[in-house]
Structure 1
Amino acid sequence: MTVAIWLQMILLFCGIFSAVGGFVGVNIGTALSNLPSAVNTVAILRAQQITHVRLFDADAHMLNALSNTGIEVMVSVTNEEVLGIGESPSTAAAWVNKNVAAYVPSTNITAICVGSEVFTSIPHAAPVLVPAMNYLYRALVASDLNHRVKVSTPHSMGVVPRPFPPSTATFNTTWNSTMYQILQFLRNTDSFYMLNAYPYYEYVKSNGIFPLEYALFKPLSSVKQIVDPNTLFRYNSMFDALVDATYNSIAALNFSGIPVVVTETGWPRLGGANEPDATAENAKTYINNLIRRVSNDSGPPSQLTIPINTYIYELFDEDKRPGPVSERNWGVIFANGTTVYDLSLSTSESLDKNSSTAFCVAKSGVDDSSLRDGLNWACGPGQANCAAIQQGRPCYVPNTLRNHASYAFNDYYQRMRSSGGTCDFSGAATITTIDPSYGSCRFTGSLNSSTGRLFPAPALGPIGPSSGVSKNLVQFGTVVAFVVTVFLVNANYLVA
């Protein structure tokens, strides 16, 4: 076997094991009368272990409040801003400088959403959408942020007029030229397709063609199974079918390798008299099953190795939104921080929020010198395992002295407390029963909170810089090591 073939096999194995766990994030709208402050909103996010958020704008208060949390943030160019940015590179550069460069890296901005459903909501702006994306990307390049921050634009399912069956789905030909340019941009910049997918609306539009169970991820009886007649793929949920319809539409324009991220999905918990399926029970069922679905790490039938990273619409009800009653009732959290309905969604062991487990963290108000001395001692003579706070590892971001010290203090304390180790560090540390874990960063002593909480912690996703280590990394390394070993043996054989 030739060297070239072996190298191709190595790349193939790399591709097979590059898929990693999906995450669930949340959209944060602001059209509500009792909008919590940015600080309180972020406190709610952290209390619920939410690790990914999408903002519908680039609000300075939120971006500041999200600083040093490690939460991955999508910021948005509003539809009102798209025209100006699409007509002026300098306007795009000013937007990036003001709303992105001014906050990173302390605020973990990983993507810019350029408008929202531009084709279907403000079609007159479609001609400048691609220029806007290009100008923003060039501004990121100029700021050396293009490898950290992706640029894309969210689309509704309205751009795919006939999503069923998924195998024959194509984009509306009206927008083919612009869509082709968008896909070309996404491929060239290693970005991703943003999809707003709402099984609720597709179910309502179907007028009974599809069963409600199908929209809610519920098991279907044998007589109700949904099968694509062309591929014979069985679709257990409308959500999967919508994502696959998008992948097939992309393929119909001869593009591949562009992952689909669901930037909006959800179910209203309350509707008007003509919205009988907008109920709290259905919303609870949809969100519960959605999180279970995304957390199983697989993609839709045609793209099984690509997890469906997803953002729930939305964090709070937006009572100021116009339209039918359902428009104002999509939130999963009340403004006071309590959940709208039961969201304990895992079959795995969940974290007991009343746990008495003690963690050792940096004390508030301690000066940097004391924190640095404690950190150096913990990672040195104290023999704490500080690998996780090294650059590129799960707990490096946020890259702050307080965060790194907390991790090191806790690791030392958990290892040594049974033999007399204390949580003191010359007064720089304190005990807390609140689990300080976040995102992919797990503090020693924490129960496995990658499942069992409202929003599972991510491994690596197709957006933003890596913030953790994939559960497949060991398997990936083993396979590559095996292939390389065989390659070397084969090469020696060829030489001999």
Structure 2
Amino acid sequence: MTSCFSFFTSLLFFLLTISDSLFMQINGLSFGINYGQVGNNLPSPSRVAVLIRSMNVTRIKLYDADPNVLHAFSQSNVEFVIGIGNEHLQNMTNLSKAQIWIQHHVLPYLSQTKIISINVGNEVFNSNDTQLILNLFPSMQNVHNALVNLGLDKLISVTTAHSFNILENSYPPSYGSFKQDLMQYIQPIVEFLDEINSPFLINAYPFFAYKDNPNEVSLNYALFQPNQGLVDPNTNLHYDNMLYAQIDAVYAAINAIGYTNVEVKVSETGWPSNGDSDEIGATPQNAKLYNGNLLRRIEEKQGTPAKPLVPIDVYVFALFNEDLKPGPASERNYGLYYPNGSPVYNIGLQGYLPQMVVPSKSKVLSFNFLVCIVTCLTFTWELSGS
């Protein structure tokens, strides 16, 4: 009977503490989001899990394999892309170390958390570190081979995310091509992705193109706003926004080296709500337009002009403003939310971040009253059983 009492009291306390969120109107779209944690004021993963569920986000991309996050999302329907940071690629060139990494960072969570992909490194070709670049492909191979050895390769894919700067040409989209000096590294990676049926990830930001050439790039074209658009003279395909043109330029670059079955996914895209004085266009209004219009396109399951039957697959950057990110001010202002859970701008997601659980006086009284009822019932049952 004591265990019964304990169960009832635990259940009552749980219901009381979440009662505020049970009656929230929950709206949202099904999309992916980048969950970065480069900040000193971010909410706990357990609170973030409630926010993510209230937004109806179905996919999260991490830049590591934070066990606190993976544990907080156990028994949820959220699918995770986890990351192996650039600083760990040297170790991943050793198959046994790659297998140990998976045994420590993946296996303990698989029974309760949906891990669907491992992103090996991030924008490696943006670095000037030749050794890091040389380590990327063998690291990807070893992580995949370790998954094969553990019988997980059918459940978890392996890939890497690239900066859009790997392209030599991106306009018109059908002329897309990779930089010649990177071809020796990119070619085997694309071949590998084709063999294991994994996507090619690109971090695409129309904001950068507009910021660098505001007199030549149409802001409406960058923001998915009504505009005349552009026509690719080689294909006669019409583009009404820059992101779709960027995606198709990557497809063209992949096709140019002989591969037609590798899917392109956008691992990062977004628009900053603030920036330095020289970061033209970094405003809350523009960020709201970009991300709001993008989410509507995702909801409509649109494809690009060159791939109309393949809905765009996008991870928005990012969930929170991250105050410790280095670089220009824009880097710290890509979040949809402030760390306190309030939206930076309203695009209709209406997510809910629960506050720290500090029961109010009324809730404590209600809880005590309910405990008294359970106690009386327990006592009555014990008397009737004696």
Matched, 1:288 2:295: no
Name the residue aligned to 1:161.
168
Residues 258-280 of structure 1 show CA distances to partners (whole Å, capped at 9, x for unaligned) of: 11110100000011211231000
Hey, what does 1:40 align to over in structure 2?
47
The separation in 1 between residues aligned to 2:299 and 2:257, in whole angstroms, is: 30
The corresponding residue for 2:184 is 177
Displacement after TM superposition at 1:164 (Å): 1.0
Match of 1:161, SS state, is strand
Is the contact between residue 82 and residue 115 of structure 2 (CA under 8 Å) also seen in structure 1? yes
Give the alignment of 1:364-375 within 5 angstroms.
none
Q: Secondary structure at the match of 1:293?
A: helix
Partner Cα distance (1:244, 1:344) in 2: 29
2:202–2:267 contact (8 Å) kept in structure 1: yes
- Residues 57, 268 of structure 1: alpha-carbon distance in 2 compared, 3 angstrom cutoff: same
Letter in 2 for 1:252: A
CA distance, structure 1, for counterparts of residue 60 and residue 185 of structure 2 = 28
Extract structure 1 runs of 4+ deviating beyond 3 A: none
Q: Is 1:128 matched with 2:135?
A: yes
* Alignment match of 2:236 (pick from 210, 232, 239): 232
Q: Using structure 1 for the length normalisation, give the TM-score.
A: 0.63
**What is the aligned counterpart of 2:104 among 94, 98, 106?**
98
Deviations 1:325-378 (CA, angstroms, capped at 9, x unpaired): 111100001222222211217xxxx99xxxxxxxxxxxxxxxxxxxxxxxxxxx
Corresponding residue for 1:312?
A: 316
Q: Give the partner amino acid of 1:92.
A: A
Contact 2:42–2:340 under 8 Å retained in 1: no
CA deviation vs aligned residue, 1:368-390 (integer Å, no higher than 9, x gap): xxxxxxxxxxxxxxxxxxxxxxx
Residue equivalent to 2:364: none
Alpha-carbon offset, residue 294 of structure 1 = 2.0
Cα distance in 1, alignment partners of residues 57 and 344 from structure 2: 16
Taking the TM superposition and a 5 Å limit, the aligned residue runs for 1:51-200 are: 51-86=58-93, 88-121=94-127, 123-124=129-130, 125-200=132-207
Distance 1:72 1:208 in 2: 41
Which amino acid is 2:293 matched to? N
Q: Give the Å deviation of 1:65.
A: 0.8
- The 1:342–1:37 alpha-carbon spacing in structure 2 relative to 1, beyond 3 Å, is same
Query: Could you tell me whether the CA contact under 8 Å between 2:39 and 2:322 is conserved in 1?
Result: yes
One-letter identity of the residue aligned with 2:195: N
* TM-score, normalised via structure 2 length: 0.81
SS at match of 1:303: coil
TM-fit CA distance, 1:123 = 4.1
Look up the SS of the partner of 1:154 in the other structure. strand
Q: Is contact 1:64-1:107 (8 Å) kept?
A: yes
SS in 1 for 2:226: coil
How big is the shift at 1:176? 0.9
- 1:338 aligned counterpart, secondary structure: coil
User: Tell me, what secondary structure is at the counterpart of 2:81?
Assistant: strand
| 2-structure distance, mates of 1:307, 1:30 | 29
Deviations 1:131-156 (A, max 9, x none): 10110001111111111111000001
Contact 1:101 1:143 (8 Å CA) reproduced: no
Shift of residue 31, structure 1, vs aligned partner: 1.0
Deviation readout 1:396-441 (Å, 9 max, x if unpaired) = xxxxxxxxxxxxxxxxxxxxxxxxxxxxxxxxxxxxxxxxxxxxxx
**Aligned twin of 2:365:** none
Q: Which residue matches 2:383? A: none
Contact persistence 1:118–1:155 (CA under 8 A)? yes
CA RMSD of aligned residues (A): 1.6
Shift of 1:39: 0.7
In the alignment, is residue 267 of structure 1 matched against residue 274 of structure 2?
Answer: no
CA distance in 2, matches of 1:206, 1:290: 22
Q: 1:332 aligns with which of 306, 323, 336?
A: 336
1:126 maps to amino acid: I
Distance 2:30 2:191 in 1: 26
Q: Match of 1:328, as an amino acid?
A: R
* Cα offset, 1:200, TM superposition: 0.2
